[in-house]
Chain A
Amino acid sequence: MNNAQDKIPAPQQRDDEQILQSAAQEEYKYGFVTDVDTHVIPKGLNEDVVRLISRLKGEPEWLLDFRLKAYRYWLTLEMPTWGHVNLPPIDFQAISYYAAPKKKEDAPKEIDPEVKKTFDKLGIPLEEQMRLSGMAVDAVMDSVSVRTTYREKLAELGVIFCSISEAVKDYPDLVRKYLGSVVPYRDNFFAALNSAVFSDGSFVYIPKGVRCPMELSTYFRINAAETGQFERTLIVADDDAYVSYLEGCTAPMRDENQLHAAIVEIVVEDRAEVKYSTVQNWYPGDKDGRGGIYNLVTKRGLCRGYRSKLSWTQVETGSAITWKYPSCVLRGDYSTGEFYSVALTRNCQEADTGTKMIHVGHHTSSTIVSKGISAGRSQNSYRGMVKIAPNAAHSRNYTQCDSLLLTPTSGAHTFPVIEVHNDTSVVEHEATTSKINEDQIFYCNQRGISTEDAVGLIVNGYAKEVMSKLPMEFAVEAQKLLSVSLEGSVG
C-alpha cells in the first residue's frame, strides 16, 4: 500500500498524461486494525444465526419475526446483477454476521480504551467535552454502537438519538411503527438480507416542532475480519421538525473483500426537513483491486408530509464497489427532494450510484446534481430515475449530471430513466462529460502549483456545488479527503 517510492519526485521532464495515468497510491489513512477482544459468532447464515443475533441483542418477539420473515424471503431471491459493476458471487456462508467488541465484565458501562483510542485516531472523540461544538455522535464499531454522545441533553428537547438496539428496548412502539415502512424487507436482495441480520445503527426521532440544535452524526467503523456490517438507520422527523444528520465510515485495509449492506430509512412529516450527509470512505482496496469494501446500500426517504423536504448529500471516495441510490418518495403535496453527489473512483474502484425521485404528490419538486470523477482504471456510473406519477400534477425535476475523466483508462457512464405521466410537469436533464484540461493544469503550474495539487484544486472546484451543501465542519474534511484521495491518482 504505502508505495512512497512510486511517487514521482518532481521530475524535470514530466508528462502530465503519464502522471495522471500512474496510479501510485497514497496510503489509506484509516487502514489500521484495533486489537480489541471481539465477540464474533461463527461464520454462516441460517435461521439459527438469525435467532442468535436477535437473542444476543435481547430483542422482543415481533422483531425476531420480522427478521425471520425477511430471512425466508431472502432465501427465495437471487443476487441482482444489473449494476454496472463486476460484483463477484458472494459466499454468504463465509461471513460472520455479528461481531462486537467485548465489554469488561467488571465495568460493563465503560468503553474499552482501545475502542476509544480507535475513534480518537479517526478524529471522533467519544468524550462530550472534547467535541468541538454542536455535534452529537453515535459511534458504531462492527455490529454494535459503542457510545452515543449528548443523549441526555437532546432528550431534554424530546429528541431521541440512540442506537437502534437501544431504541428497540426503550421506544419499541416508534421503532415498530416505522421500521420497514420506507424500505420493506421485500424491497430488494440486500434489503432482505439486512432486515434478517441487521446489527446496529442509529435511531433518530425529532418531535413535532423541534429544530434539532446540533448536527447528529453516526460514525461507522468496521474492525473485525471476515465479518459483514449490516447497519440500520431510521430517522423520523415529525411535523415541523428539522434535523441535519451526518454519516462517516472507514475500515481497515485487508486483502479480502468485506460486505457492507446497510439500510437507511427516513420519514419526513408535514413541513419537516431532513438533511442527510454522507462522507463514505470505506477501504477502497489496493491499486490492483485487491480487497476493499463492497458497499451495497439501500437508502430511501419518504416525504410523507405536506411541504416536507429531504436532502441527500454524499461524497463517495471509498469502497471497492459502491452500489447505492439514496432516493426520495415525494408523497406529500409540495414536498421537495434533493440529491447532491460527488463520487470519486480511482485505481480499480467501481461505483454505480445515483438516485430515484418518485413524484407522487402534486407540486412536488426535486433537484439532482451528480458529479462523477474517474481516475485510474475505475468505472463510475450515474444511474437515476425520475418518475412523475399521473397525480403528481405541476411537478418539477432538474437533473444535472457531470462526469470528469482524469485518465483515458477510466470510464464514466450514465443511465438515466425519466418517466412522466402527466402533462403539467417539467423535467430537465443536463449532462456533460469532460476531461481534465491541460491548459488549466499548466496555468496552475506556472503559478507554482504542482500538477498533483492543481488536479486537487480543479476537482474540488468541479465538485464545489455539491461540497457547499455539506455542513461546514464536514465540508473541510471532505475537501481534504478529495485531494488526498486524488494524490494517489496523479502522482
Chain B
Amino acid sequence: MLEIKDLRASIEGKEILKGINLNVNAGEVHAIMGPNGSGKSTLSAVLTGNPAFTVTGGSVTFNGKDLLALSPEDRAHEGLFLSFQYPVEIPGVSMVNFMRAAINEKRKYYGQEPLSAADFLKLMREKRAIVQLDNKLASRAVNEGFSGGEKKRNEIFQMAMLEPRLSILDETDSGLDIDALRIVAHGVNTLKTANNASIVITHYQRLLDYIKPDFVHVLYKGRIVMSAGPELALELEEKGYDWIKEMHPEL
C-alpha cells in the first residue's frame, strides 16, 4: 500500500528526514516510536504534503501512485488521513459544514454526486457513536473550545467519516487521560479492516497496550534505526531511548 524509499526532507534548509525506508501493507498496524526531535511528526507532515516542508530526495508510492506528486487534498482523496497532534480550531465553521465539504469533495473526486443532507446527517450520527462524540460537539465550530481529549476524539470521528485507506495517528495519545485514551483506541480498533492500515506515531508504549501494532519502528535522528515486532515497544519502555542513542553514537 505504502512504499517509502530513502525519503529525505528539510525545513528552512535544515534536513530532518535523512533517508526513511518503510513499507506498509493493507491490514497492518505500524508503530513509529522515537525520542523527541527524531522526525516523527515531520514524517507525517511530509507524507500528507504540508507545504512547510521540502522533500529533498527519495520517493513515496501510495497504492501505485506517486504520492509526492499529488496535492494535499488529492492525497486525502486517495485515502490518506492524518490525525493531527495539535488539531487547529476554525472559529465559526461548524463541524457539520466542515465535514460536509470534506465528504462532498471526496465524492466529487470519484465522480459521485454530493451526499443529500439527510444521508449526510445519518452518516454523522453513525460515526459519532464510534468515539462517543455527542451531538453538541458535532454541531459546534471545528475544534473551537474543545478540550484536548475532545479534539482527539474529533480527529478519530473525522477518520471514521472519511474511511481512509491509511491513517497516520500523530501522538494521538498525548494529552489524553486514560478514559479518553480508551475511547480513542476503541474507535481506531473499530475502524480497522483487512483493507486499511495505520501508522501510529507515539512517544510512549502506553497507547500500544490499546492499539496492537504488528511492527514497531524506532526513528532516531531522521532514520529508522530499528524495526521489529510488538515486543520492541516493551523493550524500549524498559530500557529507554538512551539505549538507542548508545547504540548509534555515530548519529
Residues of A within 8 A of B (CB): 10-12, 14-16, 437-440, 442-450, 453, 457-458, 460-465
Contact = CB atoms under 8 A, between A and B. Distances in A.
Interface in B84-105: 84, 87-88, 90-93, 97-98, 101-102, 105
B239 to A, nearest CB: 35
B149 interface: no
Given A14-B71, A442-B51, A457 B90 contact: yes
B98 A457 contact: yes
B174 to A, nearest CB: 17
A448 B141 contact: no
Given A457-B97, A457-B98, A448 B105 contact: yes
Given A443-B84, A444-B98, A445-B72, 14 more contacts: A12-B71, A14-B51, A437-B88, A438-B52, A439-B88, A440-B88, A442-B72, A443-B90, A444-B102, A445-B76, A446-B49, A446-B75, A447-B158, A462-B91
Contacts of A446: 48-49, 72-73, 75-76, 81-82, 84
Nearest to A453: B101
Contacts of A461: 90-93, 141
Nearest to B84: A443
Contacts of A460: 92-93
Contacts of A444: 90, 98, 101-102
B138 interface: no
Nearest to B93: A461
18 contacts: A14-B71, A437-B88, A439-B88, A443-B84, A443-B88, A444-B101, A445-B72, A445-B76, A446-B48, A446-B81, A447-B162, A448-B73, A448-B77, A448-B162, A453-B101, A458-B90, A462-B91, A463-B92
Nearest to A468: B92
Interface of B: 48-52, 69-77, 81-82, 84, 87-88, 90-93, 97-98, 101-102, 105-106, 109, 141, 158, 162
Nearest to A14: B71
A448 B106 CA distance: 6
Kindly name the residue among A438, A445, A447, A464 whose own CB sees the greatest number of chain B CB atoms within 10 A. Answer: A447
Nearest to B87: A443
Contacts of A15: 51
Contacts, number: 86
Nearest to B51: A16
Nearest to A457: B93
A438 B52 CA distance: 9
Nearest to A10: B71
A463 B93 CA distance: 10
A450 B51 contact: no
Nearest to B97: A457
A453 B71 contact: no
Contacts of B73: 445-446, 448-450
B178 to A, nearest CB: 27
Nearest to A443: B88
Contacts of A448: 73, 76-77, 102, 105-106, 109, 162
A38 B79 CA distance: 58
Contacts of A465: 92
B206 to A, nearest CB: 26
Contacts of B105: 448-450, 453
Contacts of A450: 71, 73, 105
Contacts of A463: 92
Kindly name the residue among B48, B49, B77, B109 whose own CB sees the greatest number of chain A CB atoms within 10 A. Answer: B49
Kindly name the residue among A10, A443, A453, A458 whose own CB sees the greatest number of chain B CB atoms within 10 A. Answer: A443
B58 to A, nearest CB: 16
A449 B70 CA distance: 14
A196 to B, nearest CB: 44
B127 to A, nearest CB: 14
